[in-house]
Amino acid sequence: MNKLVTNASEAIVGLKDGMTLMLGGFGLCGIPENCISAMVELGVKDLVCISNNAGVDDFGLGLLLQKRQIRKMISSYVGENDEFERQMLSGELEVDLIPQGSLAERCRAGGAGIPAFFTPAGFGTEVADGKEVRSFNGKPHILELALTADFAMIKAWKGDRYGNLIYKGTARNFNPVMAMAGKITIAEVEEIVEPGELDPNFVHTPGVFVQRIFQGSNYEKRIEQRTVRSRS
């Protein structure tokens, strides 16, 4: 099945106010830049965004935060985003902070059809408030529910029009697990190749998980924090 669409604007058709989204990436690495820009232009609002963090103030999900398009963030940390921090502390933004491993597993479980699981991570902290606790091998565990989304927006290095994807280096991060957990998964890729050109041994996300794919453009690939040595 040919899943190729023209651009990000066509890829996000059907996205509406109040929907829940998963967005791949870690910091600014492997984020769906084109999809985020298309959402800013569309003006969709009251979004629940599941993402490791929210980029920086003027890039990534930070652009949606600036426009007050996000109602709730489900993340593992605030990161380098001052606007994220400000909205969270002021109560303007609802935030659910989750241990990073638990966030990844909740996404993976959602994609695998596992409704919930027990984990020791977060027991004895605010993370465990209101959650069921059971003991396994003498150690307390809390119940975490799986996460799914109306749309999962991910970024890959290469893909074919059937939706098979290969990620590059650390840009793989949350993208594969989120690709499995969206009702509609949109993949933006740097390069589209013909079916059969991708070595199946190196395909990270099979096309069965992807509904729409397009070749992105004008990637900035910013570095979140650039650290250099002074010249001797």
Show me where the domains of the chain are located: 8-114+148-215
**Is residue 224 over pLDDT 80?**
no
- Report pLDDT digits (tens) over 40-68: 999 999 999 999 998 888 899 999 999 99
Q: Contact, 223 vs 196, CB < 8 A?
A: no
Domain 8-114+148-215, CATH: 3.40.1080.10
C-alpha 7/C-alpha 137 separation (Å) is 51
Confidence of residue 187 (pLDDT cuts 50, 70, 90): very high
Which residues, other chains included, contact 1 with Cβ-Cβ below 8 Å and sequence gap of 6+? 162
What is residue 185's predicted lDDT score, i.e. its pLDDT? 98
Q: Contact, 182 vs 152, CB < 8 A?
A: yes
- Report pLDDT digits (tens) over 134-180: 999 999 999 999 999 999 999 999 999 999 999 999 999 999 999 99
As a whole number of angstroms, the longest Cα–Cα distance in the chain is: 58
Q: What is the mean pLDDT of the chain?
A: 95
Q: Contact, 43 vs 66, CB < 8 A?
A: no
Alpha helices in the chain (DSSP H): 8-11, 33-42, 62-66, 82-90, 100-112, 175-180
